Amino acid sequence: MPIQTRRSEDGRTLTIKIEGRFDFSTHQAFRDAYEHGDQEVKAFVVDLTDTTYLDSSALGMLLLLRDYAGGDNASIRIENCNSDVRRILAISNFEQLFAIH
Amino acid sequence: MEDAPSDNQPLRILIADDSDSDRLILKTLLRRLGHKVLDAANGAEAVELFRQASPQIVLLDALMPRMDGMEAARQIKTLAGERLVPLIFLTSLSDADALARCLEAGGDDFLTKPYNRVIIEAKINAFNRMRLMHETLSHQRDLIHEQNRKLTEEQEIAKRVFENVAHTGCLDAASIRHHASPMSIFNGDILFACPRPDGGIQLLIGDFTGHGLPAAIGAMPVAEIFYGMTSKGFSASDVLREINQKLKRILPSGMFCCAALIQADFALNQIQVWNGGLPDGWVIRTAAEPVQLPSAHLPLGVLDATRFNAAMTILKTCPGDTLLFMTDGVMETRNAGGDMFGDNGVAAALRGIKDGETPFDAVMGRLHEFSGGLLEQDDLTLVTLEMADGAALEGLSDRLQLSALEGPAEWRCTYQIRDRTLGQFSPLPLLLHICMEVPGLRRRSGEIYILLSELYTNALEHGILGLPSEWKSTAEGFGRYYEEREKRLNEIEEHFIKFSLTHSMTDYGGRLVVVCEDSGRGFDFHKHGQPPEAGRGYAGRGLMLLHRLAGPLTFRERGNHVEIVYDWHFSEAGKSENPAVTKSGVSHE
C-alpha cells in the first residue's frame, strides 16, 4: 500500500504517509486518504519519510488538500522530506503555504 | 454488440463432401440442430458457394475430386479475410501427418467419420462462441480506431487554433535561441517572446502541471494576456498580476503554471526577472562569474490577487551577457543509468563553455551527451537571450497597419495621477493608446513610448522620489537605487504627475506636444542646458534619448515642468526608416 493514514490519539490529526513516488498515479489514493468526511480532523501531517520522488502533479495534490482543509486557515505540516523532495518544494516556494519540516 | 447472436441461434453452415450419403447424413443432422445448411460435392463448388452465401462455419471433407479440402480451405480463408470463419475438416484419416496437414492448410479442427451427433453439436457450439468473440473484438477495435482518428483530427484542428493564439511571437529574433520539445501536440510547456514598444523584449517561459488538453487550455489565455499587454507597453509586473489572476480564476486547485517572466531592456542594459517555480535561471557574464536566478515566488495561479507578489529582481547587464532559463524537463533528463541531469549538470555545462561556444549550445550539447541521444522523448524547453548592443527590435510599429489618414487630429488631453497610485499604476499604456489613435503616429509607437516613459521615469524617480541618478553608475549603487525606489514609493504623499498631450495638424503632417509636470522640488535646469554626453554611465541616458528623438527639451518653473515637441511628416508616415521628426529647437523661456 503506497499510502497509509494514521489518526492521532485525540483523533484530531490525520497523518498521511506516502511511500515511493508521489505523482499522478497516487492521485486517487491520496484523495481517498483525507476525503473521508471526518469532521473531527483539524490538522494534517503529510509524512514524506519514504517518499523518493515528488512531481508537479503531487504539488497540485498538496494544494487540493490545502483547499479541502480550509485554504489559508488550513493546518498542514509536511514532514521528513529527503533532499530531492525538499528541493522541489523549495523551487515552488511551497514553504509560503505549508509548514515544511 | 446489441445484435450479438446467442449460442443457440441458427447458423449458416457450408458442408462439402463428395460422398452423397455422408453429405446427406451430415446435412440432416445439422438441420435437426436448427441450422441452415448449404452443401457442395467438391472443393471448387464449396469455394463458389462460400463466395455467394458467406456461411459462418465451414465443414470440409479432406479428400475430394476437382479441388481437395486443403486447397479449398486455403481459398476460403483468403476470401474470409479478417472475418473468423471456423473451418473443420471431415475425415476418416487417422494418420497424424495427414491430420496435421489439414490444420496447416488453415483448418481449425477436424471431425472423424463416422459422425457422432453429440461431438458435432459441441464442436459447432464451441467454434461459434469463438467466432462471436472474434466479431466483438473486431467491432470494438474498429470503434477504437474510429474514435482515435476523430480525436487526432480534432487535435490537429485545435492545434492550429492553439498555434494562432499561442504563437511564438519574436522567438526568431537574432538575440534569442531556444529548444522546445516536440513531444506531443500539446505539451505542458509554454515559451513566448514579444517585443515591447520601447524596443526591449519580454519573454515568458513556463510549465503547466499536467499535459495535453488541460495544459493547452490554460496556455491560451496566458498567451493572449502576455502578447496583448506586452505590446501595449505594460510592465512585466502588470502582465504577471493579470496572468496570475486569470489562472487562479480558471484553473482547478491542483493545477498551476511554474513560470519565469523576463523583461530585457537593451537601451539601459538591464533585465528584470521574476521566477516562480522554475529551476534556477542564469545570467552568464562575459567578464564575471555567472549569476543564478533562483525561484523566489509561488507558481502562477496559486495565490489570489491580494497575496500575489509580482516584485521583479532587477539586474544590470553588459553587452554580451546571456540570460538562460529552462523548464523542469532539462533537470529531469535521465542518462542510461537513471541519474538526472539536475542543477549540477547545468552548472557543469556552463563552467565548461568553450571559446566561441554559446551557453545555449553548451547546455544543449551536454544534455544530448548525457541522455545518449534520447532527448526527443522528453518534455523540455530551454531558452537563451543575449544582451547584445543593437539587439533592440524595431518595436511594434512595423507590424501595425497604417490605415487611411483618418482618426483624431486636433485634440488635447490631460491625465494626472496622484499619491498611492503613483506606486501602483503605470499611465504609459493608456497614454500610448491615446496617441496611437492618430494614424500618423502609429508608425512611431516605439519612439512615442520611449518619449512618454522617459518623461515619466524622470518625473517619478528624480522629480518626486528624489533619487540621485549617480547611484546607478556602480553595481552596489544600482541595487541600492532600486531598493530605495521601492521604499520611497510606499511613502508617497501629496504628490502628482500630470501629462498634457496636445496634437494638431500642420501643413506637412502633425505635431504632438507633451508636457510632463510633477510636484517634486525640481532642479536647476539652467545648469543642464546641454544634453548629457553619451558614455557618462547609466544616468542621464533618458534625457539624452529624448534629446535625440525630439530635439531640445524645454524646462519651465523650477525644473519640474518639461515640454517636448514631436513633429511627424505625411511623406514619411508610411515608411519605417529614420524618424520623421523635425528638430524643433524650442528655447528656454
Residue with cell 522640488: B521
The residue of A56, A73, A95 whose CB has the most chain B CBs within 10 angstroms, and thus the best one to mutate to test that interface, is: A56
Residue with cell 541531469: B341
Q: How far is CA B159 from CA B151, B164, B187, B239, B521, in A?
A: 12, 8, 11, 25, 56
> In chain B, which residue's Cα lies nearest the Cα of A63?
B254
CA distance B298 to chain A (A): 5
Query: Does B581 reside within a domain?
Result: no
All three cell numbers of B221 = 489565455
Same domain, B364 and B494: no
- Please give the model's pTM, rounded to 2 decimal places: 0.67
Beta bridge partners of B517: B498, B561
Give tens-digit pLDDT for B521-578: 776 665 554 444 433 333 455 666 777 777 777 887 777 888 888 888 776 544 443 3
Contact B254 A97 (CB under 8 A): no
Element (H, E) at A62: helix A56-68
Cβ(B57)–Cβ(B127) below 8 Å: yes
What pLDDT score was predicted for residue B531? 44
Query: Does B300 reside within a domain?
Result: yes
List of chain B residues whose C-beta atoms are within 8 Å of the C-beta of residue A57: 209-210, 254
Question: What is the spatial distance between Cα B299 and Cα B255, in angstroms, rounded to a whole number?
Answer: 10
Domain assignment of residue B283, given as a range = 167-386
Contact B209 A64 (CB under 8 A): no
> Residue B586, SS3?
coil
Question: Between A57, A92, A96, which is nearest B258 by CB?
Answer: A92
Same domain, B380 and B410: no
Contact B294 A91 (CB under 8 A): yes
Same domain, B540 and B415: yes
CA distance B422 to chain A (A): 29
Which amino acid does the sequence have at B203? L
Q: Which of A2, A28, A36 is nearest to A14 (CA)?
A: A36
Same domain, B348 and B419: no
Same domain, B377 and B412: no
Residue with cell 476437382: B66
Which amino acid does the sequence have at B559? G
What pLDDT score was predicted for residue B26? 92
Share of chain A above pLDDT 70, in %: 98
Same domain, B194 and B340: yes
Same domain, B418 and B381: no
Same domain, B346 and B205: yes
Same domain, B380 and B415: no
Query: Does B580 reside within a domain?
Result: no
CA distance A88 to chain B (A): 9
Query: Does B354 reside within a domain?
Result: yes
Give tens-digit pLDDT for B101-138: 888 888 999 888 888 889 999 999 999 999 999 999 99
Ranges of residues in chain B with a pLDDT under 70 are: 1-8, 182-186, 211, 375-378, 389-406, 523-544, 571-589
CATH number at residue B192: 3.60.40.10
Contact B253 A60 (CB under 8 A): yes
The residue of B187, B244, B248, B255 whose CB has the most chain A CBs within 10 angstroms, and thus the best one to mutate to test that interface, is: B255
What pLDDT score was predicted for residue B346? 93
What pLDDT score was predicted for residue B169? 81
List of chain B residues whose C-beta atoms are within 8 Å of the C-beta of residue A91: 258, 277-279, 294-295
- Which residues of chain B approach chain A closer than 8 Å at the C-beta? 207, 209-210, 253-256, 258, 276-279, 294-299, 302, 328
CA distance B257 to chain A (A): 10
Task: Convert B528-564 to b/e letters by CB count within 10 Å (16 or more is b).
Answer: eeebbeeeeebbbbbbbbbbebbbbbbbeeebbbbbb
Query: Does B149 reside within a domain?
Result: no
> Residue B375, SS3?
helix
Query: Does B574 reside within a domain?
Result: no
Contact A94 B298 (CB under 8 A): yes
> In chain A, which residue's Cα lies nearest the Cα of B277?
A92
What pLDDT score was predicted for residue B542? 66
Same domain, B50 and B28: yes
Question: What is the spatial distance between Cα B168 and Cα B181, in angstroms, rounded to a whole number?
Answer: 14
* Domains parsed from chain A with CATH numbers: 3-100 (3.30.750.24)
Element (H, E) at B276: strand B270-276
Query: Does B3 reside within a domain?
Result: no
> In chain B, which residue's Cα lies nearest the Cα of A95?
B298
List of chain A residues whose C-beta atoms are within 8 Å of the C-beta of residue B296: 93
CA distance B210 to chain A (A): 7
What pLDDT score was predicted for residue B35? 94
CA distance B302 to chain A (A): 8
> In chain A, which residue's Cα lies nearest the Cα of B210?
A57
What pLDDT score was predicted for residue B582? 38
Give the torsion sign (CA, B455, B456, B458, B462): positive
The residue of A63, A66, A86 whose CB has the most chain B CBs within 10 angstroms, and thus the best one to mutate to test that interface, is: A63
Contact A60 B299 (CB under 8 A): no
> In chain A, which residue's Cα lies nearest the Cα of B281?
A91
> Residue B94, SS3?
coil
Contact B255 A93 (CB under 8 A): no
What pLDDT score was predicted for residue B293? 94
Same domain, B187 and B222: yes
Phi, psi for B144 (deg, rounded to 5) = -65, -45
Q: How far is CA B254 from CA A35, A37, B75, B490, B551, in A?
A: 15, 20, 60, 34, 55
What pLDDT score was predicted for residue B392? 54
> In chain B, which residue's Cα lies nearest the Cα of A89?
B277
Contact A60 B297 (CB under 8 A): no
Question: What is the spatial distance between Cα B37 and Cα B59, in angstroms, rounded to a whole number?
Answer: 10
Give the torsion sign (CA, B506, B507, B510, B512): negative
What pLDDT score was predicted for residue B574? 46
Question: What is the spatial distance between Cα B456 and Cα B444, in angstroms, rounded to a whole number?
Answer: 18
Tally the domains of chain B.
3
Cβ(B449)–Cβ(B197) below 8 Å: yes
Residue with cell 532559463: B325
Query: A residues 37-76 near B, CB within 8 Å?
Result: 56-57, 59-61, 63-64, 66-67
Question: What is the spatial distance between Cα B44 and Cα B506, in angstroms, rounded to a whole number?
Answer: 99
Same domain, B314 and B224: yes
Q: How far is CA B6 from CA A19, B33, B130, B132, in A?
A: 49, 14, 12, 9
Q: Which of B118, B110, B114 is nearest to B86 (CA)?
A: B110
Question: What is the spatial distance between Cα B71 and Cα B82, in angstroms, rounded to a whole number?
Answer: 19
Question: Between A64, A92, A96, which is nearest B253 by CB?
Answer: A64
Contact B295 A57 (CB under 8 A): no
CA distance B274 to chain A (A): 13
Question: Between A57, A91, A97, which is nearest B209 by CB?
Answer: A57
Cβ(B243)–Cβ(B300) below 8 Å: yes
Question: Between A57, A64, A92, which is nearest B277 by CB?
Answer: A92
Phi, psi for B345 (deg, rounded to 5) = -60, -45
What pLDDT score was predicted for residue B410? 85
CATH number at residue B412: 3.30.565.10
Q: Which of B545, B526, B539 is nearest to B589 (CA)?
A: B526
Half-sphere exposure of B168 toward its Cβ, with a 13 Å CA cutoff? 12
